[in-house]
Structure 1
């Protein structure tokens, strides 16, 4: 079993002779998607650390902080199966020793006002603040994140670069259920009928990819139709460049969607190769 450490002092002792360190930050409720991150991270460093911390500062009032699933014993078994060396599971008091009100935070910048940031204005400030703290405490050489939360991945990469944190941020492809639904800890809240309907989110992305050669408008139209046919009204469905800027015909792009299906709010995205209709789709 991995060593379980809950304080900064215990973390320091557990990683004192760690050599190179890879970090997989999580909020627990681990599933096969998290396991894929661990498997990707395992050969990248001498020591693999997984953090399990449900971060209160990335939840706005009324969001599902209290209801967020907590399955620590099962998480520990999954970490053991993937060869994790250290599980860092701090308390809120360890991560925010001066309280949640009296703290220095990371300003995530203008890119965080888009997409998820428009829906959840304080979310990325909380995410980047806790990730910066984890980077400072664990001192990893490399950190591995999933592409499912693509905007988060983009912002963490930008923060690591702009703040000179010395951490290589690696993105891993989204892991999916057999019907294409992106794996998420929130999927467990889908009822039977909503679970079937949720598969339309990934189907919409596939339809957008197939329409890529016909250009940006065709991509969005194809994806919108699949969602509408399933009775899903997305919070957003957008096509951007890989760095979340404007999509350009004839180049690589990213198609991102967020939608509430029943209770859970689900995120997904995929890469799209855009044609340029003005040049005959090339």
Structure 2
């Protein structure tokens, strides 16, 4: 495994791999503090690609002024051990100065898909995501890029960016990876206290129970589903709901409150964001109502 820290080193390493015929190239962009969810992305990239490139970069553009950029968990040594164990070939770890040597005047913005869910709660967040991912795509020029469905809105936004800008890369969405008790893996889980960690299990339970109620025909409309999600989450005294929502996926269009879920065309997403103390967690479930077929 080769570790590179400058764009010049990255281009040289990729040129060497391409000249040696080590294509296609799979790319796994991360902010580090890697866990089994990231490991699953590396493994999937290895299944589809001859060369696996991972980036580790905590991107300041996607953090708001009162968010946790400075305190975001970092552990480079541990990250590199995991990346090598799972089969990454090149790991790109640039500094902020390397990525942004001058003030950023050019940004990539995806319109309607970023106005709800986390986009409404974190203004400017997705502009930071799409700008840095676009830059990384230009640097790596991957054939495939791998993202977890835990942030399903991010997957939808990046797929639209790639389509709108005719980028020659396929976005591969990978399933959510959970702890044995159901909590979706996240680098921010480290912030949770013991009691917050226990109560955070209500997130996956709310999605599971609402999904089961839809399957059983006990919940038939979008409003009923939202209400059930919120009522289950509210059984946790520490939970502070940011949003619970039901939208089409990947278009992220709202389902009317009284509309029948079974009439929705294609896939829908039940998405939620909830705070436990200072920690904001997201989770979701994407499925096809007519088939009731889980994708995550």
TM-score past 0.5 threshold:
yes
For structure 1, the 5+ residue unaligned runs are 276-282
Q: In the alignment, does 2:14 pair up with 1:10?
A: no
Matched position secondary structure for 1:259: strand
Identify the residue that residue 259 of structure 1 maps to in structure 2: 274
Identify the residue that residue 225 of structure 2 maps to in structure 1: 219
4+ residue segments displaced more than 4 Å: none
Would the aligned equivalents of 2:110 and 2:160 in 1 still touch at CA under 8 Å? no
Per-residue CA distance 1:95-118 (angstroms, 9 max, x = gap): 11223xx42001221211111111
CA distance in 2, matches of 1:241, 1:77: 39
Query: Structure 1 stretch 49-58 or stretch 229-238: which is displaced more?
Result: 229-238
Identify the residue that residue 233 of structure 1 maps to in structure 2: 240
Identify the residue that residue 151 of structure 1 maps to in structure 2: 153
> In structure 2, which of residues 180, 183, 207 is the aligned counterpart of residue 181 of structure 1?
183
Q: In the alignment, does 2:35 pair up with 1:31?
A: yes
Identify the residue that residue 89 of structure 1 maps to in structure 2: 93
TM-score (norm 2): 0.89
CA distance in 2, matches of 1:200, 1:31: 21
CA distance in 1, matches of 2:227, 2:67: 31
Per-residue CA distance 1:12-61 (angstroms, 9 max, x = gap): 11111322210000000000010011111112111000000000000011
Identify the residue that residue 254 of structure 2 maps to in structure 1: 246
Identify the residue that residue 109 of structure 1 maps to in structure 2: 111
Would the aligned equivalents of 1:23 and 1:41 in 2 still touch at CA under 8 Å? yes
| Number of equivalences | 272
CA RMSD of superposed structures (Å): 1.3
Query: Structure 1 stretch 12-21 or stretch 115-124: which is displaced more?
Result: 12-21
Per-residue CA distance 1:70-106 (angstroms, 9 max, x = gap): 100000000011110000001112211223xx42001
Q: CA deviation at 1:273?
A: 4.4
Q: In the alignment, does 2:50 pair up with 1:51?
A: no
Q: 1:48 to 1:267 in 2, by over 3 A?
A: same
TM-score (norm 1): 0.93
Written as runs of structure 1 = structure 2, the 5 A alignment for 1:120-199 is: 120-199=122-201
Matched position secondary structure for 2:229: helix
Q: CA deviation at 1:249?
A: 2.5
Query: Structure 1 stretch 152-161 or stretch 220-229: which is displaced more?
Result: 220-229
Would the aligned equivalents of 2:178 and 2:184 in 1 still touch at CA under 8 Å? yes
Q: In the alignment, does 2:71 pair up with 1:67?
A: yes
Query: Structure 1 stretch 210-219 or stretch 31-40: which is displaced more?
Result: 210-219
Per-residue CA distance 1:197-252 (angstroms, 9 max, x = gap): 00001111111111224322332232122101113231000001112113362233
Q: 1:246 to 1:62 in 2, by over 3 A?
A: closer
CA distance in 2, matches of 1:60, 1:233: 20
Would the aligned equivalents of 1:140 and 1:167 in 2 still touch at CA under 8 Å? yes
